Amino acid sequence: MDPQLVWSANRDRPVKANATLQLGKDGNLVLTDSDGTFVWSTNTTGKSVSGFNMTETGNLVLFDKANRTVWQSFDHPKILCSWGRAWFLGGSS
């Protein structure tokens, strides 16, 4: 499947190969570029996030232990993801 653009946070500064998207123990999903530079986060520290997934419609959803939505990308229309082989995110929420 070829990647399809689903949403964009910063089209002018895509991350490089080997960028890292990590859900911290504090519940914040953070994207850092390959050189370790902070690029973006969900700003969900302390919100009891236990996991995340990308829906078939391209909505990146962070949820708690009861599977309740804590944060979702569709509430932040400036964020970019590529559905398929790779994700590309940029900017700040």
Structural domains of the chain sorted by starting position, each given as residue range(s) with its CATH number in brackets:
4-83 (2.90.10.10)
pTM for this entry: 0.71
pLDDT per residue as tens digits for the range 20-74: 889 999 999 998 899 999 988 899 999 999 999 988 887 889 999 999 999 998 8
CA-CA distance, 76 to 46, in Å (whole number)? 19
DSSP per-residue letters across 39-71 = EEE---TTS---EEEE-TTS-EEEE-TT--EEE
Tell me, what amino acid is at 61? V
